[in-house]
Every structure is written in structure tokens, then in C-alpha cells.
Amino acid sequence: MNDEIDPQAITARARRFQPIWLIPIIAALIAGYLGYKALSAQGPTISLSFRTADGLKAGQTKIRHKAVDLGTVDSIRLSDDLSHVVVRVRMQREATAQLTDKARFWVVRPRLNAGNISGLDTLVSGAYIEMDPGAPDATAAAPRRDFQGLDEPPAVRSDEPGTSFTLTANRVGGLTSGSPVLYRDITVGEVLGWEMAPNGESFTVSIFVRRPYDGFVHPATHFWNASGLALDLGANGVQLHIDSLQALLSGAVAFDTAVEERSSAASAQGASFHLYASQTSANEGGYTKRLPFLTRFEGSVRGLAIGAPVEIYGIQVGSVTGVKLVFDPSGTQTYVEVRYDIQPERILSLTELAHEPPLETARNLVRHGLRAQLHTANYLTGQLFVGLDFLPNPPPQEVSTLDDGTILLPGNAGGLDSLAATMTALSAQVAQIPFAQIGADLQTTLHEAAVLVAHLDAGSAPALKRLPAIADNLQTALARAASLVQSADTAYGVDSQTRRDLDRLVVQVSDSARSVRLLADYLTQHPEALIQGRSAKATEK
């Protein structure tokens, strides 16, 4: 038995396995592990349709949600009809549960919208596709692999708490997707979008109000279109209202609730409201009771527009709802029908309104002189409004109702028409005054007066000429009285009664002489004073 070991066999056996061979083995194991890990991490492939592939690159553009990568664009191609692009994306396995019909995708790139700027970070990192998986509690969600990408980012993300509401409006003005929703000048939500009704007469506006501000929306809440800049040159004068800069650029929706209604329960998801054109009309919408009235005017109603106020004692109690011309070819029954709604809750409580029927109230007021008149509210714009005025002693008129229940209230010309009618009547009365006859009579009277003055002047001339002589005689008598006084002093003494009497006589004669002299001077200058007397100016002198 040969127990010796063959050295060549040992060498051959050693050559069969070398340590260097461990390197490719380890590399293969690592590659297999990485391949397995990559395959295990891969999710399904989805297809996204976009209007354009601007900013997208195959192998580079990522799918993200809250800044976390969920997939990578695999390929980009045009659709068969060349109307859009089809982007194939390899998603990761952890995103598989979110690929439902509730998910939304859009491209994030720099955007300049009315009122805000977004996507500025993509100037450095490049565009990417954002994913919104939908509400986390969506029980009716179904798996999906083909999606229609959004052209614009959604205004509200699915994970943002809040409530959506629906508004109905006749006009949307400057509202767009992303327009703010304001509550007391604070942005509390956004406009999601709007749709036109099939008949083209109204719009449905969807809005979202964030929590906790959605608790301020109650069934009696009023929404209005806050366009940012409102300039009103109507019957209430010139009014300018400016909201925030964002509302000025993109429009806005504002809402508020009356104090007495804020204790009610908050409105539920999807509740519907009316969108008023302005805050003024929204405030008027709080009055639930409206009484239709109609007044017929035979004069011009230029400047009276729908929406013009109806006032009593300067307080608005309603607004004009219609202006219509009723034309009769014969010209005997042509007038203008002005319809307006009275909101009695502005001045009376519901309890007081239930006390007496509106028709009887109107009849009582008309018996006391109530009439509808047109007044000029703004002379700059010529705007008119309807005033309910109590006239003194107006002709009696009756109050009736039309077939639709509208109360026919009597009217009276007012405003410029009333002024024009008064001026016309006044001019007619003035035209009846005989100015020519009055002028002729006045001329005759003046001529006769001149003749009379001439006669008086001629007749009084001799008397006037004698007045200076009379004054001289009085002066001579005064001198003699003075001599007599001196003689009395010698005979009777200074303190005698005779001396005192003579002193009084001298004074009276002196005053008489001076008065005669002044009378002569005045009559020489003003002989007409014999008839007319002294003028006030001469009396003051």
C-alpha cells in the first residue's frame, strides 16, 4: 500500500479554487441584492396626460408629495392625435395605495398668477410633478393607473382641513381659481373655480373655507363679490371702496353673518348660498319680507335706474326693481311704470307688520297725503330716487292692487319736473301782467307830478321871497327886546319877576327867528318839500 501523497495532485487541487475568486462572487451577491431591492421597491407604472411637456425630462423629473420622491419619469411621447403628451412614470411601491381615482397630478413650475407667485424653487431644482393623493378617508376610492394632469395647481390640497361651499351668482366679475375668500378683511379660504349654467343665465362658484373659519359660516350668512375696487356714482353719492391688493388684482369673495344669527349651527359641507353683487345688496338680502309697489309717472324718469333707493324721510325702505314705458299711440295714456319693493322690516318689526294688512296701511297713509315722487339725488350724475313724501292738502286719490298683488300707489311730479311745471305756471301768470299799460300809466303820473311841482314852485315863490324879510323883522324885534331888558334892569332890578319874563320872551323870539331863517333856506333848496315833506336824510341832518 502506497501511503505517499502525490505532490502534483495536491497542486492541481489547489489551482481549482483561488481566493481572488471571492471578489466577483461578492460583487455578484451585492448586485443581486441591489437588484432585488430595486425590484422590490418598484411600484406600478402610471400614465399622465398633460397639455405640454414643458420642463419635463425623461429619467430626471421626479414625482413628489410634500417634498418626498415617489417616482421618476420614464418616458415622454406625443399622443396619437398630437393633442397632448403622455408621460410614463415608474412609481415606488409605497405610493401604490395612493394611486386611486382621487389622486391629482400637476407640474410645478414658476407661475405668476393674479395676487401670488409660486414655484420659485424650481428655478434651481427644475420642474417636477406634484401628487395630491386625495382625502385620506376616501372610502369610495378605486385603484387607477391613467390620470389626466391638471393645467393649474389646485387651490386647496386634500389634506387641508376646512369646508367647501357652493355659491350661485348672476355674474362672477373678476373671480378666478385662487381668488381669496375674506372674512372681515382676513383671507380665510380660496375660490376653487366656477361653472356656467346650461342656460347661460347664472354661475356656480365653488369656494373652500379653512378651519376654524368655516365655523363662521351659518345658514343666514351672506356672501358678496368683493372686487377690490368699487366706485359707485349712484343715487347715494360718490362712494369708493378698496379692499386688499390681492382682491384688487384677482377679485375676492367676502362673507359675514348678522349678530343675531351667529349662535346658530355652522353650515355643513356643500351648503349652497347666493353670491350678491356687493355688500350693500347683501345687507338688503337680510330682509326677508318684500312688498311690491307700482307708481305711474307721466313725466320724464331720466336718471332713474334699477336698484335706485326708495326713501321716506331720508331713510331707505326699498329699491327700484323695474322701469317700463307704457306707450299709447293715441297719446292719451302714455306713462312710465316704476316698480319697487318696500322692505317694511327696515322700519317695523315682524310683530308690527302682522298687526295690519299692507293694503290698509297704504290706504291710510295715502289719505294723510303720502305720494311717490322722483327726486334728484346726485346733480353730478343726474341720478334719481323715489321719495315717499307727505304732501300738504293733495287731491284725494285711491289705492288699488293689480292682479299679481302689487299695490298701485299714486304719484306726484317731483324733482326737476315739478320745478319746471312751477316755472311754467309762474311764467304764464307773469305773461298776463299788462306791463305796457302799467308803463304808460306810470309815465302819465310822473308827468302830472312834474306839472304839480312846477305850479307849487311858482305859487310858493312870493312866500319864499318874504321869509328872509320876516326873519329880519324878528331880529329887529329881538334887538329892541334886548334894549327893553336893559331898561327893566334899571327900573325893576335883575331879580324881579318882570326881568325873568322878559328873558324868556327874548329866548323864544330868538328861537323863532332862527327857525324862520332855516325854513327859508331849506324851502329855497327843496321847494318840493311843501308836498312830500322832509326826507329821512334831511331829517337826520
Same domain membership, residue 499 and residue 412:
no
322 falls within a domain: yes
Domain of 128 in residue numbering reads as: 43-111+124-133
Of 284, 306, 328, the position where a domain reaches its end is: 284
In a domain, 201, yes or no: yes
- Residue 154, domain member (yes or no): no
pLDDT > 90: percent of the chain = 24
Check whether residue 459 and residue 412 sit in a common domain: no
**Judgement on whether residues 296 and 278 belong to the same structural domain of the protein:** no
pLDDT higher at 324 or 239: 324
Which of 218, 250, 284 terminates a domain? The answer is 284
* Per-residue burial over 152-164, b = 16 or more CB atoms within 10 Å of its CB, e = otherwise: ebbbbbeeeebbe
233 falls within a domain? yes
Asked, for residue 473, whether it belongs to a domain, the answer is yes
The phi, psi pair for 328, rounded to 5°, reads -115, 120
- Kindly state whether residue 457 falls inside one of the protein's structural domains: yes
**Among the three residues 394, 414, 431, which one is the final residue of a domain in this structure?**
431
Quote the pLDDT of residue 295: 95
Provide the mean pLDDT of the chain.
Answer: 77
Q: Which residues of 371-380 are buried (b: 16+ CB within 10 A; e: fewer)?
A: bbbbbbbbee
- Do 278 and 173 share a structural domain? yes
Is 140 part of a structural domain of the chain? Answer: no
Are residues 421 and 296 part of one domain?
Answer: yes
User: Domain for residue 119, yes or no?
Assistant: no
- Phi/psi for 11 (5° steps) reads -65, -40
The arithmetic mean of pLDDT across residues 446-453, rounded, is 63
- Give the contacts of 45 (CB within 8 A, at least 6 positions apart): 74, 88, 89, 90, 91, 145
According to the model, what pLDDT value does residue 135 have?
74
Question: Which range has highest mean pLDDT (22-26, 194-198, 239-243, 500-504)?
Answer: 194-198
Long-range contacts formed by 63-66: CB under 8 A, 24+ apart: 63/89, 63/91, 63/95, 63/105, 63/128, 63/129, 63/131, 64/128, 64/129, 64/130, 64/131, 65/95, 65/98, 65/130, 65/131, 65/132, 65/133
Q: Is pTM beyond 0.95 here?
A: no
Check whether 513 has a pLDDT greater than 60.
Answer: yes
Which 3 state secondary structure label does DSSP give 126? coil
Residue with cell 409660486: 118
Statement to judge: residues 167 and 275 lie in one domain: yes
- CA-based diameter of the chain, in Å? 221
Residue 304's nearest CA partner among 411, 224, 400 is: 411
Number of domains present in the structure of the chain: 4
- Paired sense of beta strands 116-118 and 111-113, if any: antiparallel
Answer yes or no: do 301 and 420 share one domain: yes
- 296 and 427 belong to one structural domain: yes
In a shared domain, residues 423 and 443: no
Three-state DSSP at 179 gives coil
Residues 322 and 423 in one domain: yes
Verify cis geometry, omega within 30 degrees of 0, for the bond prior to 344. Answer: no
- The answer on 385 and 265 residing in a single domain is no
Same domain, 411 and 361: yes
